[in-house]
Structure 1
């Protein structure tokens, strides 16, 4: 794992050009075999059924999850869940699963409820947990009665904002209502201009009142209104689902453009100060807009790529559902996204030998919820495992940490179907073959589409559906069959002018082996 590689990006660009071009660019029916189109349409229709079942008809708010027989929806929801339902409704309409009247009615109901929800008024941001039944802000957990300290999450508000952008473009009759909510959301409330020397970053979020336990930092980054209590961590890694909030904040002029370069590709290679990370990185230091960036990469499966924190698919690829990262960044995301997909496939099929692949946080087949990933692809040395046994991979860190488990024997691999769907633009044939096996060989398919996770060794299925994961599946299918239509809805001229030059300028050290 500590082989030395040269940075070969310029020489491999031509070789990977076809790989890095989203297959959805050739879609729209004619770009797929008829059987594949019918299969994806079936997956979408069944997935939509689960979202309908978990959504309250009166409020238009989806529950966080529902049982596999489409009964007993949960009594809580989040801004991300609500956003996912909004963009899924648009996809269901555009795929012909529902008609325009039903879609408009559903969107209208949800937007009306959103307008009535209690928010943090100075920022326009939404709290993290609401009741789907009446839209009330949760202060006790429905299942246990435990106290909930109302929290405002950067990334959750980012995904709701993304959905509002989609609705405003996709349904012109509701543009005013969607933009009224969107325009009120001020992401400067989350952004610490002095996170590190010369670097600004988003905090994880904030509480209006002290949370009572744990770490909280009083402050007010917006400079108006009363102080709030920030999390003690920042979103400081580049390959993270949280970058959606950074994109939106920059496009809105609420946070500086330099924030795009402030996150870490890997932790720096500075003696043993960062010797706790998964492996010793290799890379060059470059400067963007005056920000010095160590473009570090990790080695895996004969490639070099930029890791995420935990090594999961959704950290890497969820923002790519809305932002044309691979197209705009041929020297960064255009390499790293297909490399991530190939690394996940290689882990499941070759290294661990599960016979299936796709690893991301999801329902736990043996409990409630867990974070899954490919640990080699995560910065955290005890990052997300790919199996039920939480097998730890530790290849050590040269000169700082001895290897304790460099070549582990993996156990009961837990595959999460939504992770495979996210890979559709980069290896569609492998994705469809993988999904067919999960459905036909393992039975991981029910009335609402693919169950949320399956332990492929034992065949144990997490027979429930998570709203977030189902909405990622809807988005991925919509993009695959409709020429990246969600990206067209999300990106306007203002957004492209603000974000595209930042992405185009970026050069990762990724080396993809076709």
Structure 2
């Protein structure tokens, strides 16, 4: 975001800012009267969102539940939490302090309470990693699912530990009073435990990939026996790898590379788009091969509405933009992320407003209106042929794969669109005027706002609201507002030191196949 557009958003103005990477023009700043009429609601939204996170957080342990039902004054917590949920509360607390929602004393008290609980949680000692599910009220590792009693096999997730580590890194830099406690927890976390230098069934990538995670006791179902690298500790790895670049999982890659736990070349081993021989994917990509760090990279992209976009697996905003809350990717890599991020946002906006005609936009995994949880996205910019859909009816877009596979539904009629407010918050740094207007319209017209901020999702046609708050989604809202209204507080804290020294020069040279079709 340009300095002008950031200043403009904070002033509350709604004149067009455009996107420099795409040649957009910046409109004149509005008059004082216009600024007064369009006072930015970001701080109000942040305050209410923080209220929901406080309601989700256990008063004794400082661990944040996965979600909360009911009014925030009398919350019904989920009974479980994850490393991601805890990390989100950590960075949200820093944002709340930066925005003046809480004072320094309260910030330190909250952070210390959570860090003390983390230090006492059962974890996998050889790797320093945390299990995926704990009881937020007791800190016990879950072996039965709350409510159903279903069996839970304790699992250690690379990406969920990545988000916890991200929260610890923000706290370590932003709050000196608890920096040592955060650093101690971080030091014992070794992401090399998830790294496979020779991933099976992926050909000669030139570097390794991160696994989805592992169990430290043999689970039922598919698992790959092995040992944690550098130890004799037996574990059972997931058979899957995180092998695509436009994915929320790249936060774990950034952290592992910055800490010297995996080689830098790992960044270029992930696929920008699936290889051309995977003709089952959503569409036939276009692009060319370039070489970085000794690795041949196919810089492929999908074509959508006059744009070429490097796709995620499901075409959701979360996959593309959550790591961008921590790493200023568009600024550090202007010819790759600096082009693709704005185009991803534009694709969501055009899909919601023009192609599907919902009147609103922004699609990301969230609570399902009517109950449950589901992935939402723009199907056409996701590699998954089964789709992350944008409506309740799961309308599939199938334009085929070149001449190999004809499309079965190239121009569908969409149904009851489901928009997820946190997606528009993630878009603020790339289309500030449009994202702010979209959020204001949602709040005004859709009944999707409560005492804890925006509810998780709304089906815009039926008006059905998912009246639930998810800590991950609320933490994304806090992180995005913190960067826009709090002087890039999350990014400044996360990138200080080794991250900027290692990641910035690593990603800077790349040139994606993204852009406007000429």
TM-score by shorter chain over 0.5:
yes
Aligned-partner SS, 1:194: coil
Match for residue 283 of structure 1?
287
Match for residue 55 of structure 1?
57
Does residue 339 of the first structure (1) align with residue 343 of the second (2)?
Answer: yes
Distance apart, 1:394 and its partner CA: 0.7
Q: Which of 218, 228, 249 is the matching residue for 1:210? A: 218
Aligned-partner SS, 1:404: strand
Aligned-partner SS, 2:252: helix
Q: Which of 219, 234, 241 is the matching residue for 1:234? A: 241
Could you list the runs of 5+ residues in structure 2 that have no partner in the other structure? 14-34
CA change 1:82–1:463 in 2 (3 A) is same
Give the aligned CA root-mean-square deviation in angstroms. Answer: 1.6
Distance apart, 1:21 and its partner CA: 4.2
1:380 and 1:35 map into 2 onto residues whose CA distance is 43
1:513 and 1:79 map into 2 onto residues whose CA distance is 41
Is the contact between residue 24 and residue 484 of structure 1 (CA under 8 Å) also seen in structure 2? no
Does residue 263 of the first structure (1) align with residue 270 of the second (2)?
Answer: yes
Task: Between 445-454 and 477-486, report the one with greater CA deviation.
Answer: 477-486
1:435 and 1:441 map into 2 onto residues whose CA distance is 10
Q: Which of 369, 391, 396 is the matching residue for 1:392? A: 396
1:76 and 1:147 map into 2 onto residues whose CA distance is 14
Distance apart, 1:26 and its partner CA: 3.8
Kindly provide the CA deviation profile for residues 419-449 of structure 1, in whole angstroms up to 9, marking residues without a partner as x: 0100001111111111111111111100100
Aligned-partner SS, 2:407: coil
Distance apart, 1:34 and its partner CA: 5.7
Pairwise mapping of residues 489-508 of structure 1 onto structure 2 (< 5 A)?
489-508=493-512
CA change 1:84–1:352 in 2 (3 A) is same
Could you list the runs of 5+ residues in structure 1 that have no partner in the other structure? 1-19
| TM-score between both structures, scaled by the size of structure 2 | 0.92
1:455 and 1:241 map into 2 onto residues whose CA distance is 25
CA change 1:442–1:29 in 2 (3 A) is closer
Is the contact between residue 21 and residue 426 of structure 1 (CA under 8 Å) also seen in structure 2? no
Aligned-partner SS, 1:284: strand
Match for residue 320 of structure 1?
324
Match for residue 118 of structure 2?
114
Does residue 422 of the first structure (1) align with residue 419 of the second (2)?
Answer: no
2:283 and 2:65 map into 1 onto residues whose CA distance is 39
Distance apart, 1:238 and its partner CA: 0.5
1:23 and 1:381 map into 2 onto residues whose CA distance is 40
Match for residue 8 of structure 1?
none
Is the contact between residue 24 and residue 482 of structure 1 (CA under 8 Å) also seen in structure 2? no
1:401 and 1:348 map into 2 onto residues whose CA distance is 27
Task: Between 135-144 and 31-40, report the one with greater CA deviation.
Answer: 31-40
The one of the two structures with greater contact order (alpha-carbon pairs below 8 A, sep at least 6) is 1
